Structure 1
Amino acid sequence: MTTEERPYQDERPRPQRGRRVLVVLLVLLLLLVGLLVVADRVAAGVAERALTEQVREELATQGVQAGPPEVEIGGFPFVTQVLDGRYERISIGLKEVRGSVQGDVLALPTLDIDAYDVTASLDTLRSGRGGVIAGSVTGTGTISYDSLATRLDREGLQLGERDGRLAVTAPVDILGQQVPVSGTADITVEQGQVALRFTGLTAEGLPNGSLARMLLSNFAEGISVDVPLPALPFDLTVSEVRPLPEGLQITAEAVEVPINAAS
């Protein structure tokens, strides 16, 4: 058979086979990455449970009354942080942080704590022995307005937020007449206590006269108090207080903080 008589043969490569191989490789790669991510998160979960127990013991040691802590380790991947013994961020969520203050109970419905640059060896996480130290810690929580109102102990007094300030309304007996009083407070932090100073109170229908004004001033002075806070864990010191619709938010900070009792 001559060359001219040979049947035509297409010797070009078949791209479909190459594409199938590429798809298979991509699927395998994605499965591998998925397995690594799952394994990383499982390992993080094990470490979080170990830290939760250590944090619970530390809270008990410090006499902090709160619900069970919820611990979450931030940053990815987790395994590289374990090998380095240093963690970007560890978040600790506490609920119903309470403390008795002269017979009254102030409550922080939530206290969210972020510990940064945390040093903890693998052996510490595994055995629970050894120190866990945070380079810095920030905590934010709220004091319920009901708790504050109970502390001020004035019948009918209500607290809330208005234009970013702590506002008060209350019925006040002035010269035998019930007068609705309202105003705002200046808030400062003094030696770990929240200082409330009510100024510029106004009363609708207040009778004229210096005596009525003096009684209004006395009421403002009576509700201007220093409010001790519940004991905060991890050496947290209040640095800022600001009114929010849901309560009085506090921000507290600390540096070089032991996270577990072994520290």
Structure 2
Amino acid sequence: MRALRILLIFVVIFGGLFVAADRAAVYFAEDEVAGRIQSSQGVNTTPEVSIKGFPFLTQVVGGSLDEVDISLDGVTATADGHAVRVTEVKANLRDVRMDSSFSSATASSATGSAHISYADLMKSAPQGTTVGYAGPERAAKGQVKLSGTLTDVLEAANIPVPGAVAALLGGEELTVYSTVSLENGNTVRLSAEDLPKLPVPGLDEQVKGLVDYDLKLAGLPASIKLDRVTATATGLQFSGTGTNVSLAG
């Protein structure tokens, strides 16, 4: 009985040491992966990396990690020189296979997501306009709402508004619904739909040229794949899936 008690004590002690060593190895590996992602994929800030599954050491021996989560702050998008903050940048990678030298890894599957609030999106919008939620029906079509006073929008774009034209417009409010799409995984495109008929010939085309614009996502790790954008009540939500995605190299 005493021998069994001693054996159990040793099991508990060594089990605790193994767990401690396993967790220490995880923390070290997470820091290493984060550093490699930052250096190899041109990310401005260090990502947070979380390696799931226990025990970690047996996963390493097998050359494959069950699941890796990546999150990142400080990502920006740019449009005409305006910087826009991208938040909630995340990736979930599964069945991450490492090469024999542990210098690179590939995930069998991955999901990614990111978010741009309407407040942040407004920083890239044409001057004189606001960007907001278009309501559930239009949001379901992937549309957002741009609005502003037409003369203010034209003057902010340095388009002359003669007094006679300004009087004809009469402080007319401009309301445009723009369809949002994602091109090549890194460019957000806003394209105006249902542009109101304006009383001055040729003005429609000028206004459309102002409210149609691209927003370039920059600073995303290659491991975060985005292929879909939806309009929500709080902003633009991005998501995507991928296979055989490179984690670091």
Residue number in structure 1 paired with 2:130: 157
Identical positions, percent = 24
Inter-CA distance 191–213: structure 2 relative to 1 (3 Å threshold): farther
What are structure 2's unaligned runs of at least 5 residues? 152-165
Inter-CA distance 40–246: structure 2 relative to 1 (3 Å threshold): farther
Residue number in structure 2 paired with 1:258: 246
Which among 168, 171, 178 is matched to residue 171 of structure 2? 178
Residue 118 of structure 1 and its aligned partner are, at CA, apart by 0.9
Q: Distance in 2 between matches of 1:39 and 1:72?
A: 17
Task: Give CA deviations for 1:150-206 in whole Å, capped at 9, x if unaligned.
Answer: 32323142333632722333222373422334353322233443222232356xxxx
Equivalent residues of 1:113, 1:138 under 8 A apart = yes
Q: Distance in 2 between matches of 1:182 and 1:26?
A: 74
Q: Distance in 2 between matches of 1:87 and 1:32?
A: 24
Q: Distance in 2 between matches of 1:101 and 1:180?
A: 24
- What code does the residue aligned with 2:181 have? T
Correspondence list, 1:99-178, <5 A: 99-120=77-98, 124=102, 130-160=103-133, 162-163=135-136, 165=139, 166-173=144-151, 175-178=168-171
- What code does the residue aligned with 1:180 have? E
Residue number in structure 2 paired with 1:3: none
Equivalent residues of 2:182, 2:229 under 8 A apart = yes
SS in structure 2 of the partner of residue 90 of structure 1: strand
Residue 241 (str. 1) matches residue 229 (str. 2): yes
- What code does the residue aligned with 1:59 have? Q
Larger CA Rg, structure 1 vs 2: 1
Could you tell me the TM-score, scaled by structure 1's length?
A: 0.68
Residue 46 (str. 1) matches residue 53 (str. 2): no
Residue 123 of structure 1 and its aligned partner are, at CA, apart by 5.3
Q: Distance in 1 between matches of 2:199 and 2:210?
A: 16
Inter-CA distance 183–147: structure 2 relative to 1 (3 Å threshold): same
CA RMSD of aligned residues (A): 3.7
Inter-CA distance 210–146: structure 2 relative to 1 (3 Å threshold): closer
- What code does the residue aligned with 2:111 have? T
SS in structure 1 of the partner of residue 73 of structure 2: strand
Equivalent residues of 1:51, 1:71 under 8 A apart = yes
Q: Distance in 2 between matches of 1:223 and 1:178?
A: 18
Q: Distance in 1 between matches of 2:6 and 2:134?
A: 60
SS in structure 2 of the partner of residue 229 of structure 1: strand
Equivalent residues of 2:78, 2:215 under 8 A apart = no
Which among 155, 161, 180 is matched to residue 187 of structure 1? 180
